[in-house]
């Protein structure tokens, strides 16, 4: 039986259920990022109470600290971090390739780089990326891909596409953990021919799901959404589609409209660290003096632990004093906001009303900044 089932569609947008070894995920789904086996500053029960269904773990970081062998010895990543729901692990490809000046050599066999922890030379191959994720015991493992920067030459982009397919074919043959699903990743930037080629080649390898990689890395946003629209339509309809690394409210609604089922981003926790809140009427920078006497909650429609009890004035004080509670409350709020936005989108798709939902949400978001 296929682990994924589409339960409703509205235009290209769809709602579905993905079954994993640690339970079902209802899609579309926003996946909070727990890079180092923690969603920064939050207890896993808090993350669960916010409505999170699945967390991301990071192959690159966990391989070096504390080590995937150690995590396996201690019973796997779920047990290690006290999270019994689904976990997706990325392959480390994005981290290796985004730290460009640490790369020593990329060839068809793998990539050699100096790791950020002790600077020693390390080699990642598709087989190792799979082995690390098998040790972690994640529910969904991602293929190692070659992620080129935005704006490189077409020839280099083509190289990355070719290598990504060759690596995916090798990783597909490597042993995985019991019940672990495995997703392929497409590359090709916003180049129509290369993205199409990559999408077809990865689909041909018949993974459990397919991801769009190498977008949201600094290219033109309009071109990114155009590419997402047509590239998503080329991806197998009966399998989950994952857009890697998008988490701003408008971006989430755009990719859902294109037919994407899963997405992740560090934005909610990273935004919290800058003292900002995501709200339905736009972003609030709490360092702004206009909040000094503001007794309203961050968002009067939100039921998170920050909004149900504290004023903007108090949160502004915590942020300005770099108090840990401020960081925690903003993280709780920002995550709740994106999880609710996504849950609302799912319900709108089920009602056949996603177009209105998206238009209303985007109008509200623009209201505050206008
Ligand atoms: Zn809130």
Tens digit of pLDDT for each residue in 237-258? 999 999 999 999 999 999 999 9
CA of 359 to the centre of ligand 1 (A): 22
CA of 309 to the centre of ligand 1 (A): 9
Active-site residue (options: 10, 68, 90, 208): 90
The dihedrals phi and psi of 102, each to the nearest 5 degrees, come to: -95, -5
Q: How far is CA 90 from the centre of its chain?
A: 9
Q: What is the dihedral of CA 341, 347, 352, 354, to 10 degrees?
A: 0
Share of the chain above pLDDT 70, in %: 99
284-303 pLDDT, tens digit per residue, is: 999 999 999 999 999 999 99
**CB-based burial label for 299 (10 Å; 0-12, 13-18, 19+):** buried
CA of 302 to the centre of ligand 1 (A): 5
Residues with CB under 5 A from ligand 1 (ion): 302, 304, 306-307, 333
Given 68, 139, 145, 264, the catalytic residue: 264
| Cα(198)–Cα(216) distance, integer angstroms | 17
- Mean pLDDT (the chain, rounded): 96
User: What mean pLDDT is predicted for residues 112-138?
Assistant: 97
85: pLDDT strictly greater than 70: yes
- Cα of 225 vs centre of ligand 1, distance in Å, is 28
CA of 124 to the centre of ligand 1 (A): 40
Spatial separation of the C-alpha atoms in residues 13 and 56, rounded to whole Å? 23
The single-letter DSSP state of residue 167 is: H
Mark whether 10 is an active-site residue.
Answer: no
User: Is residue 367 pLDDT above 90, yes or no?
Assistant: no
- What is the C-alpha to C-alpha distance for residues 361 and 370, in angstroms, rounded to an integer? 15
Mean pLDDT, to the nearest integer, of 189-213? 98
Q: What is the Å distance from ligand 1's center to 41 Cα?
A: 16
Residue 89 reports pLDDT greater than 90:
yes
Rounded-to-integer distance, Cα 80 and Cα 73, Å: 10
* pLDDT, average across residues 144-158: 95
Reply yes or no on whether 208 is catalytic: no
Q: How far apart are the first and last CA of the chain?
A: 50
- Give CA separation, 311 vs 11, 55, 299, 300, in Å: 40, 29, 10, 10
The predicted model gives 250-267 an average pLDDT of 97
pLDDT bin (cut points 50, 70, 90) of residue 370 is: very low
Span from the CA of 235 to the centroid of ligand 1 (angstroms): 35
Distance of CA 213 from the midpoint of ligand 1 (Å)? 31
What mean pLDDT do residues 61-71 have?
Answer: 98
């Amino acid at each position: 039986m296929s682990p994924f089932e589409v339960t409703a569609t509205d235009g290209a947008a769809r709602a579905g259920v993905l079954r994993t070894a640690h339970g079902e995920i209802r899609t579309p789904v926003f996946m909070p990022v727990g890079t180092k086996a923690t969603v920064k500053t939050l207890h896993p029960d808090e993350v669960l109470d916010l409505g999170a269904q699945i967390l991301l773990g990071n192959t690159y970081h966990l391989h070096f600290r504390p080590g995937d062998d150690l995590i396996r010895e201690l019973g796997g990543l779920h047990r290690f971090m006290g999270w019994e729901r689904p976990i997706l692990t990325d392959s480390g490809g994005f981290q290796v390739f985004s730290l460009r000046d640490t790369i020593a050599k990329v060839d068809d066999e793998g990539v050699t780089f100096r790791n950020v922890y002790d600077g020693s030379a390390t080699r990642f191959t598709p087989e190792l990326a799979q082995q690390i994720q098998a040790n972690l015991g994640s529910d969904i493992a991602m293929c190692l891909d070659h992620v080129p920067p935005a704006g490189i030459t077409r020839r280099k982009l083509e190289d990355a596409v070719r290598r990504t397919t060759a690596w995916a074919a090798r990783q597909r043959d490597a042993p995985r953990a019991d019940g672990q699903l495995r997703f392929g990743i497409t590359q090709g930037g916003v180049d129509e021919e290369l993205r199409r080629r990559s999408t077809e080649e990865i689909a041909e390898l018949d993974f459990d799901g397919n991801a769009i990689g190498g977008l949201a890395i600094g290219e033109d946003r309009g071109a990114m959404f155009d590419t997402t629209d047509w590239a998503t339509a080329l991806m197998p309809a009966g399998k989950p589609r994952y857009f890697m690394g998008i988490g701003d409210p408008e971006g989430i609604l755009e990719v859902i409209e294109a037919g994407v089922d899963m997405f992740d981003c560090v934005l909610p926790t990273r935004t919290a660290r800058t003292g900002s809140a995501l709200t339905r009427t736009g972003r609030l920078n709490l360092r702004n003096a206009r909040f000094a006497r503001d007794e309203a909650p961050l968002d009067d429609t939100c039921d998170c632990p920050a909004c149900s009890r504290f004023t903007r004035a108090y949160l502004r004080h915590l942020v300005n004093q770099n108090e840990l509670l401020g960081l925690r409350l903003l993280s709780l709020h920002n995550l709740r906001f994106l999880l609710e936005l996504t849950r609302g989108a799912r319900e709108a798709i089920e009602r056949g009303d996603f177009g209105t939902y998206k238009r209303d949400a985007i109008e509200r978001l623009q209201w505050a900044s206008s």
